[in-house]
Structure 1
């Protein structure tokens, strides 16, 4: 995952950034220039240090999103005397391990992969979170999120940003003009797809090409469907490999995906046949919606940043998204998503202060007010009114809905050789014509012993 977008795919900031980011002024221009006894610094008083201190943070967050991140904690820096030196890298996963093994670990790392956090925690390289961070996290995040920062019963990392993947993008204008209704069940989704296909148009468009990471969007499809064909616990068992990757329920789930992605009457609107999904880039996958060459595109909330400049993303705009409906509404509201977690390699007072602050509603709302969209958090104290993008507001509403049952991106929890390797490759082979069982067999055989 990369800053609230799946790992392997760091483009949110680069694509969304147009023009110059104007940084807002805060208390001062340095970490020690504010009057720590002033009224504006009162909320930060408990984290203030007697002598100026520096905390290093390392993440996959880059470009304009990194600028916005750094702006979000400026008041904290000014009022506490703690300077946060953030470095974003497109090679976060590989380089973090190199730094840790070389004795040059950052004070904090923003982990987009719970699997990487867990592996380093089990090696004793990540510090357990202090009690204050645990208390804050428990108060501000659901148990579904807390567990991804927990390893072998010990809490290490509070959530930071988030995204929702269970979305289908569409054109509100097209729906209105053609009398289509937003489906609320899987059966209605298929009925709508059949209705559109009956007109001679292909209802769905998709793209899974992403350079070395080609195939990842198809893994999200399978994960979303498995949350709808089985229980959350069965999904967890598959992710953790207590259920074989090629077991009967997983085969059935991928076949369910195939009823859409491998249906020549359904795909690939605007691009060609089923195999064109593999050669169509992730970034361009849903764009035919704007040309009325396709009607539906399943992709995460962060896809809102992929539409061309000038596109209005809103319920009454050029494009918007609806929640990918459940197969059995009686089972609740499964939500697939992702995000980052703040883990520490040092336990100095100032490091723990930053950890705690980043787990609070105060920080989440500070970050939400910056920029035009493309960022959300699962923090229960986040006020959706502080978000500017309608899709971000909808995402937070879904995350905060008591009926929602959240599960993290499965491939990001699996061993790297699987989640970022054989799983992607198997989905590409499957889209290119390989049968379901052999495709899943190849992933099962690749799982580390």
Structure 2
């Protein structure tokens, strides 16, 4: 979420970098309806989104309202989706639809009996327009409960072209080259990386890209399922590799202390805001939405990226993630909520956010021309065509207590590691202890 010295941009650059094929796609398919059949009804939707993401998702909800007559109400849960939704269910105030950001949370909700299986209409649309992997991650015990509406390409490193041009940097091909390039950026007057350590999920993404490339997909899958212990030597090695960056004061903007006080939007601001403090920020494709919406950057010109580089001779990683829409049984208007999911499954709904930016859809039937710039268009193409090489965000597959809770589990332990990266082996042991407890629960 870089161009070479000649600064290739857009679809061509990303296709070369990520192996994407030519940009293109099928045309939008109408969602049907439009007869205001849901007039007078209100669908409540809970999700983690705030800021520009919430604003852009509201455009999708408004389009649903215009089509069906239903009103919508969005409730921002913060990062602790599981806790907030659970308390609302217990209090008799359950939302109708939840946008779930972790596979583990979706599985937890289904096993607690909170979810309604998706309608035959939605499942048919998913079968026709989505790669099987998205249905797999949305299903529990063979039943489809979650519709992946928003996807993420989490193997992108975003940068300011001006900053890197001044430093004379070429896109790094390996992790060690990236750290070396970062030190050159630092010598030119800016820190290399802005790190969003206040948000533990960003640190899990750093780890996952390193681990997938360094340890390989088989071990990645085993660790994600906790069939491999976090005390394994491959985990200790990956933490050590990550620690090379964390402990280098030339690489992290403001050092470790400031990184721990920087949230994700703040990390983007440090690179693309009015007073830049760093040349690069690692995170997913959604960095583009913040850079464009909040700081007016033109994607591909003022903000660009290079693929997360290969580690220790491994393949460059492709880590994905996504937000799945689910329908709660206890919602006061669950039937209208199911109609919302039928709409969200269509390319028509995806096109609304695609035009707004900061969004990728896993729906293969969405016309890629709906994306607002060539960089995003090519990112979307590379994601949906990546096939078996893609791995879903590991922390999102874990139980929420380990991989998806603010101030606990992997999020907190990696924040502790950012604060003091001197003991990878000890951190691995603490991760294993937390993981074992969460998976047993």
Matched, 1:98 2:98: no
Pair 379,247 (structure 1): closer, same or farther in 2 beyond 3 Å: same
Hey, what's the Cα distance between the residues in 1 that align with 2:140 and 2:359?
A: 26
Q: Which runs of 5+ in 2 are unaligned?
A: 1-28
Q: Which runs of 5+ in 1 are unaligned?
A: 1-41
Q: Which of residues 285, 289, 306 is equivalent to 2:267?
A: 285
Structure possessing the higher relative contact order (Cα contacts under 8 Å, 6 or more residues apart): 2
Matched, 1:429 2:416: yes
What secondary structure does 1:327 align onto? coil
Shift of 1:67: 4.7
Q: Which of residues 283, 293, 318 is equivalent to 1:335?
A: 318
Q: Which of residues 349, 358, 363 is equivalent to 1:374?
A: 358
Matches within 5 A, 1:4-15: none
1:344 corresponding residue in structure 2? 327
Matches within 5 A, 1:159-174: 159-174=148-163
Greater Cα shift, 128-137 or 347-356: 347-356
Greater Cα shift, 136-145 or 174-183: 174-183
Does structure 2 retain, via aligned residues, the 8 Å contact 1:110–1:343? yes
Matched, 1:418 2:405: no
Q: How many residues align?
A: 396
| TM-align CA RMSD | 3.4
Hey, what's the Cα distance between the residues in 2 that align with 1:302 and 1:185?
A: 23
Q: Which has the higher helix share?
A: 2
Matched, 1:263 2:248: yes
Hey, what's the Cα distance between the residues in 1 that align with 2:268 and 2:223?
A: 29
Deviations 1:341-394 (A, max 9, x none): 11123497644332222111121113323x4x2233222223333233565435
Does structure 2 retain, via aligned residues, the 8 Å contact 1:136–1:360? yes
State TM-score, norm by structure 1. 0.76
1:18 corresponding residue in structure 2? none
Matched, 1:88 2:71: no
Deviations 1:258-277 (A, max 9, x none): 2222234x4224x24x5553
What secondary structure does 1:429 align onto? helix
Hey, what's the Cα distance between the residues in 2 that align with 1:292 and 1:44?
A: 43
Deviations 1:256-296 (A, max 9, x none): 212222234x4224x24x55533445444355546676433
1:397 corresponding residue in structure 2? 381
Hey, what's the Cα distance between the residues in 1 that align with 2:429 and 2:326?
A: 35
Shift of 1:43: 3.9
Matched, 1:113 2:98: no
1:29 corresponding residue in structure 2? none
Pair 43,187 (structure 1): closer, same or farther in 2 beyond 3 Å: same
Hey, what's the Cα distance between the residues in 2 that align with 1:390 and 1:409?
A: 25
Shift of 1:104: 4.0
Hey, what's the Cα distance between the residues in 1 that align with 2:55 and 2:268?
A: 28
What secondary structure does 1:340 align onto? strand
State TM-score, norm by structure 2. 0.77
